[in-house]
Amino acid sequence: MKVCTDACVLGAWAEVEQAENILDIGAGTGLLSLMVAQRNRSARITAVELEENAFAQAIENVEQSPFNDQITVLHSAIQDFNPDEKFDCIITNPPFFQSDLKSPDSKINQAHHSESLTFEDLLIAVDSLLAPDGIWNVLLPVNEGIIFQNKAEKTGWFMSRKLTLFHQKNKKPFRLLMSFSRSKLTDNDLVNTELYIYKEDGETYNTPFKKLLQDYYLIF
């Protein structure tokens, strides 16, 4: 599976610096866990992945990284994951296509469609696994993100940060990055920002994007 720009933005944007015990739900090949470990060298990170080949690749990637002492990769559905302790931070880039046409490749379907992890499943899992004062971060396409936000807020979650991701100005946004907690904020406390990957020429990287990703992109 390719390293996607939007996932890299989530890994660089999510609030993880103060966390001690972090969970990566649907870890794929380990990208988010590795980025989080680079940002927080004292955190313990548990990466849970269901798809067998992605899990094997995550194991290999973690073992060959400088962060292998921080990250534990587990082969499991999050619905079956029952740890002994809660997490103070959760990060997830979940399956998101709720209604799109499926690929003939079942592995791609599992990675991108919500058969194995519906939004309801994810909300139940986060509620069970997150510590009372914890924060969790999620990345979704815009339409699915709006649906998910409504579901999350109806089940008692409050948004604390939101980033709308665009390819460039004058284009529609294509991803929403959201942080939730159990604590209600005032409208003035909500951090609601926008990020453009490219300048208006569609080729030159925007300065804020470069600043956010400069610790991860060799080209910066």
Residue-wise pLDDT for 127-177, tens only, equals: 999 999 999 999 999 999 999 999 999 999 999 999 999 999 999 999 999
Helix (H/G/I), strand (E/B), else coil: 112: helix
Locate the domains of the chain by residue range. Answer: 5-213
Whether the predicted model's global pTM rises above the 0.85 cut? yes
pLDDT of residue 95: 77
Going by pLDDT thresholds of 50, 70 and 90, the confidence category of residue 112 is very low
User: Which residues have C-beta within 8 Å of that of residue 5, sequence separation ≥ 6?
Assistant: 197
Is residue 190 predicted with pLDDT exceeding 60? yes
| % of the chain with per-residue pLDDT over 90 | 84
Is residue 19 predicted with pLDDT exceeding 70? yes
| % of the chain with per-residue pLDDT over 70 | 90
Is residue 106 predicted with pLDDT exceeding 80? no
pLDDT of residue 96: 64
Helix (H/G/I), strand (E/B), else coil: 89: strand
pLDDT of residue 115: 56
Is the domain defined by 5-213 classed in CATH 3.40.50.150? yes
pLDDT of residue 87: 98
Going by pLDDT thresholds of 50, 70 and 90, the confidence category of residue 110 is very low
User: Closest by alpha carbon to 179, among 128, 121, 115, 134?
Assistant: 134
In the DSSP assignment, the letter for residue 12 is H
Paired residues of 134 in beta bridges? none
Is residue 217 predicted with pLDDT exceeding 90? yes
Q: In this structure, are residues 136 and 78 in contact, taking their beta carbons and an 8 Å threshold?
A: no
Mean pLDDT of 27-42: 97
Going by pLDDT thresholds of 50, 70 and 90, the confidence category of residue 58 is very high
User: Closest by alpha carbon to 48, among 66, 70, 67, 30?
Assistant: 30
pLDDT of residue 103: 43
Q: In this structure, are residues 90 and 36 in contact, taking their beta carbons and an 8 Å threshold?
A: no
Helix (H/G/I), strand (E/B), else coil: 191: strand
pLDDT of residue 3: 83
Sign of CA dihedral 17, 19, 21, 23: negative
